[in-house]
Structure 1
Amino acid sequence: SLGMTALFLDLEQKINVWRFYTVLRVSSPMSWGSWILLLVFPAIILLALTGLPAGFPALARWLGNLPVLGNIVALVLRVCYALRRPLAALNVALGVALCIYTGILLSGFNARPFWHSALLGPLFLVSGLSTGAALMILGAGTKAERHLFGRIDLGLILVELTLVGLFLIDMLNGTALQQNAVSYLLGGGGTGLFWIGFIGLGLGLPLLLEAAMWWRSVTIIAGFASVLVLVGGFLLRDIVVTAGQASGWTQLHNQFNPALLDNLRNDGEDPNSRF
């Protein structure tokens, strides 16, 4: 909800937001994202209603006793409970799509060398799954549940570290523009936040803490590690967006120099004849 509100406030022409939902452009990640965001909320609400009678019986009884609406509420709760498995599967599919679409959207911006990598989608997906597991640890009702999600998050952090490493290798072996863009994390302005904040505190320390709790979970340590994972997930997105905005195709003159085209034209040569 906070994310959707921030996206809406960032729109310059807020009154035209409805135009997103007049068509679905299959080739547009932004169009897919708009529809995914629209569908996520009702799907989450319906899934939450499946557990309302068992989790909050007093609230369920109060809603069921409401005049006029009580019978409708009771019917909706019964239908949601009967469809709990399909609703759970729908939420899983929408959750995966929601996690991955942001990375795919950014990777489509060819004008930003730092974003132009196919690894951003999987990286955002695994990061979203990891932060989701961390949130489940914080809200776990039993020690066994907390321990299970701690082990799951441990594996996800290892995968995320692998993807981050592959992303750096991909950038360093890419074009001169991509090498220049990734230097923001390797000695540039984002070095400290990336290595100390994200890699060290957001991934490395939680990894060590969760590995130490492989056989036995400790509530305080598990909660602390989960908070660090959530902070790391935020830092990843902040760093990727900031580094992408700091890079561009026009920053290296040996790659982009309008004066060279003017010189060719002044010499009477067609600039496209060489290609």
Structure 2
Amino acid sequence: MNKAFRDALFHQDMAFYEEIKGHSDEEKALRFNVYRNNVYVSLIDALADIFPITQTLVGEDFFRAMAREYLQQNLPKSPIIREYGGTFADFIRAFEPSQSVAFLGDIADLEYKLLTLTHAQEFTPLTHEEVSAAFNHTTDPAKLLIRLSPNTQIMLSCYAIGSIYLAHKQPSEQSLTQLDINNSEYLLLSKSFIYAEMHVISEAEASFVQRLMQDKTLEAAIPDDDTFDTGASLAKLIQWQLITHVSEAAT
């Protein structure tokens, strides 16, 4: 984008006005402001589409005012509109008027991560039968390496953002009034075929997944936690279609 045009568009710089046809600066400003307003509205609409739950939590008026402040300080760097807003979560965390909703930045972070995962490369998971066959063909399952989709991510928040997210996506299953928002949560983010998915998991399950992602054997990945159920956790990874490869560790 031409620098003079961009400065005029986002910073009220009048240097570009000489390129605009009009009988006076006032007429030029009026014409350009119509275009400027359309650009602002389009970018704010894009942020509202990317962060729908964030907007719901604070209301449309507050969200759009906050989004306008954000775009004045963070110009688009890509013509691909879905790539805009990568720093919106950090902006919200530092935005003084949003401090009363302490978890808002984490919600925005989660929404952007899920959007990014939705557009990420897809990886073919193993079926339940293929995983079972790999376990049946080894003499020592503890030494197996279980590789997960590269799209798999673990996210930790000091707030119950996963439950908040699900309460908005599936309002009939969980009510916000039943949540303790100040409960920290571990989230597993992944992409299953077309769309990104999010699951609230335990700290032990998060540790297990992270160790598998570090190429530790099944035995080494199991956390030192008496409540951890290895079989149930593996069943979840199969159900969520995250396992892409199972092999025996080199001896």
Q: What TM-score do the two structures reach when normalised by structure 1?
A: 0.24
Structure showing greater relative contact order (alpha-carbon pairs closer than 8 Å, 6 or more residues apart): 2
Q: What TM-score do the two structures reach when normalised by structure 2?
A: 0.25
Question: Which protein is richer in helix relative to its size?
Answer: 1
Question: Which protein is richer in strand relative to its size?
Answer: 2
